[in-house]
């Protein structure tokens, strides 16, 4: 009998879909309520994708708190654990999610509708094969997924978040720490109005 594969957890960092708080760069195109509604859709889609990957336990890390109805609904529907993101910058919040798992973990946000269960399975495989880290770069210079076999505070410390240098800084940190990492093909986030067109194309049924 073959042994079951090593569990690799998936931690989803999600901002509550509150008008004026969520997807603020899309408010000019969608309005505050429309941007919040899109965020709610992205949260559900991301949870569905993570659960479909079946790599290990899925957790949802919410901000500013975990009480929003969307969080409660997906927690009940998918039997997820939901945690409030700690204070601090994005790096500290991602590190907390990895540390809480006490196991190899993939950390993702909710902004990448192109992320599939297959991408998550491939990333989990990289950690199972012994890589210290795995990353899916984003086309804008950041990344849409980072996975670690164990907490590595120095991977995140001092990074200039929300800039087009995040992935380059992360590569330099991984190399400087002597870690082995694997990069998968880049994907894209929904951050700007022009990204909405790509999302519509992604969701449009193919064929006739």
- Counting Cα atoms < 13 Å in the Cβ hemisphere of 2 gives 3
pLDDT tens digits along 95-130: 999 999 989 999 999 999 999 999 999 999 999 999
Rounded distance between C-alpha atoms, residue 4 and residue 187, angstroms: 29
Asked if the bond preceding 64 is cis, omega within 30° of 0, the reply is yes
List of residues 6+ apart from 183 with CB closer than 8 A: 134, 135, 136, 137
Structure tokens at 197: 């067109």
pLDDT tens digits along 74-91: 999 999 999 999 999 999
**pLDDT for residue 205 is more than 80:** no
**pLDDT for residue 18 is more than 90:** yes
> b/e for 7-26, b at 16 or more Cβ within 10 A?
ebbbbbbbbbbebeebbeeb
Q: What is the mean pLDDT of residues 3-27?
A: 94
84 neighbors 66 (Cβ within 8 angstroms): yes
150 neighbors 102 (Cβ within 8 angstroms): no
List of residues 6+ apart from 199 with CB closer than 8 A: 113, 190
Which residue, among 121, 114, 132, has the nearest Cα to 186 in the 3D structure? 114
Query: Could you tell me which residues are beta bridge partners of residue 107?
Result: 11, 146
């Amino acid at each position: 009998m073959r042994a079951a594969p090593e569990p690799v957890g998936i931690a989803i960092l999600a901002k509550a879909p509150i008008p004026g708080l969520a997807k603020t760069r899309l408010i000019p195109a969608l309005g505050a309520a429309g941007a919040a509604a899109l965020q709610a859709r992205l949260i559900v889609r991301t949870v569905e994708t993570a659960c479909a990957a079946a790599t290990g336990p899925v957790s949802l890390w919410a901000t500013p708190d975990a009480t929003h109805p969307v969080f409660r609904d997906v927690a009940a529907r998918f039997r997820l654990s939901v945690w409030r993101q700690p204070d601090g910058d994005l790096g500290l919040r991602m590190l907390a999610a990895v540390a809480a798992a006490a196991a190899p973990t993939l950390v993702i946000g909710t902004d990448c509708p192109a992320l599939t269960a297959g991408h998550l399975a491939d990333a989990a495989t990289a950690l199972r094969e012994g890589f210290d880290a795995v990353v899916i770069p984003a086309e804008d210079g950041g990344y849409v997924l980072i996975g670690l076999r164990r907490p590595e505070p120095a991977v995140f410390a001092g990074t200039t978040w929300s800039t087009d240098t995040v992935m380059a800084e992360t590569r330099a940190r991984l190399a400087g720490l002597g870690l082995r990492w694997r990069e998968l093909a880049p994907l894209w986030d929904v951050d700007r109005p022009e990204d909405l067109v790509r999302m519509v194309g992604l969701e449009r049924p193919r064929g006739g």
